[in-house]
Amino acid sequence: ALKALEALKKTTDLKILFVSSTTGIDDGNFNQNSYKGVTDFIEEYTKCSADTLMEETGRPKECRRFLEENISKYDVIVCAGYLFARIGEIAEKNPSKYFILIDSDLKYTDGSNALSPNVYAMTFSEEESGFLAGVSAAMETKSGKVAIVTGIPYASNVNYQYGFMSGVKYVNETQRNNVKCIELEDHSGVDANSNPVGGNYVGAFNDPDSGKKIAEELIAEGVDIIFVAAGESGNGVFDAIKEADGVMAIGCDVDQYDLGKTDNGNIVLTSVIKRLDLNVKKQLENIAAGKFMGGNFILDATSESTGYVGEDGRHQLSETTLTALSNVYKLLKSGSIVPASYYNGITPETFSSK
């Protein structure tokens, strides 16, 4: 079996196109970790190659046109982000191409659901990682006030928000704490269906100035831990936290500990993750091995696709909190805890640990 695998790695010749959202592959977050799955694959399958392109408009119609103009010379197209969701017709017109869609189900241009045998569409149970962030924040806060700052109220971001608020509520209910999630009315989110979702939304993933302003307002309200799920806008949140005293950040999607370095230490408490790199690489391997299967898939704790950073030297959590997170993660895996999410009908208000 090992010899067969090595032979496959030598003979497989895939041309891969990675298309990032507007923040590019060096965003230190979503795009960068997704692209790492491609580069990790190429390190092993050395005859394969990859190019990267960034879609600059952030408009779904332009994203589709952008793909149609660039996919002809590639075997696999990896699309990073919700803006590339409505490519159902493109996939059907190009049945010999493989598509890996990250953070959205596949849809047609009218927004209706699509399924195609050449498209693997992965979404994540971000509410699980958000829940872990909420537990961390509620157990480590000294002021009793915590918050989340997010980019745009897409489903994935609302999942993070609802999960975070559920995690705080869980700690309050199980430990009789009284930690408050602070929401600024001027930055409350409204989803694509015009439904209010609360939270603190920047309104963009590439606006660090606005991210910093929101963080400063939260810090002025007494918040001492902020969960940052805002892409490049989150860099501004990090800047505000670094300039404050006694405030910490929780990173998102990937391990962001290195981004928290200051002259006097580090402002990152921990990071909660979804394994973008691992799952992108897995699907590329499936293509190479002839085992690819299209469909819409939700990835969660049962496949280690959500989680938190607890490795030595990459967090500043207490042993008590680490123990609590380990126990909570087991409960998430077993389904004993189901945090609120955008899709499951549970809200932060109706979530209960009981």
Question: Considering Cα of 278, then 284, then 285, then 290, what sign does the dihedral take?
Answer: positive
| Cα–Cα dist 62/235, whole Å | 26
pLDDT score for 55: 67
- At 84 the pLDDT is 86
Compute CA distances 300 → 100, 261, 305, 312, whole Å: 18, 30, 5, 24
Q: What are residue 54's DSSP bridge partners?
A: 20
Three-class SS state of 350: coil
pLDDT at site 347: 95
Residue 340's pLDDT is: 97
Size of the chain, expressed as the number of residues it contains: 354
pLDDT at 9: 52
pLDDT value of residue 1: 44
CA 288 to chain centre: 26
Structure-block tokens of residue 314: 């990459």
Quick check: 169 and 339 in contact, CB under 8 A? no
Who's near 11: CB < 8 A, 6+ residues apart? 47
Q: Could you tell me if 228 and 250 are in contact, meaning their C-beta atoms sit under 8 angstroms apart?
A: yes
CB 104 within 8 A of CB 124: no
Tens digit of pLDDT at every position of the chain (354 positions): 445 445 545 557 899 999 887 777 777 778 889 999 999 999 999 889 998 888 666 677 777 888 888 888 899 999 988 888 899 999 999 999 999 999 989 999 998 999 999 999 999 999 999 999 999 999 999 999 999 999 999 889 999 999 999 999 999 999 988 999 999 999 999 998 899 999 999 999 889 999 999 999 999 999 999 999 998 899 999 999 999 999 999 999 889 999 999 999 999 999 999 999 999 999 999 999 889 999 999 999 999 999 999 999 999 999 999 999 999 999 999 999 999 999 899 999 999 987
The pLDDT value recorded for residue 193 is 87
Q: What is the pLDDT of residue 58?
A: 66
**Structure-block tokens of residue 190:** 């409204």
Give the residue from 199, 308, 323 showing the smallest Cα distance to 256.
308
Edge-to-edge strand list for the sheet holding 119-124:
49-54, 15-20, 76-80, 98-102, 119-124, 295-299
What pLDDT score was predicted for residue 146?
Answer: 98
- Position 238 scores a pLDDT of 97
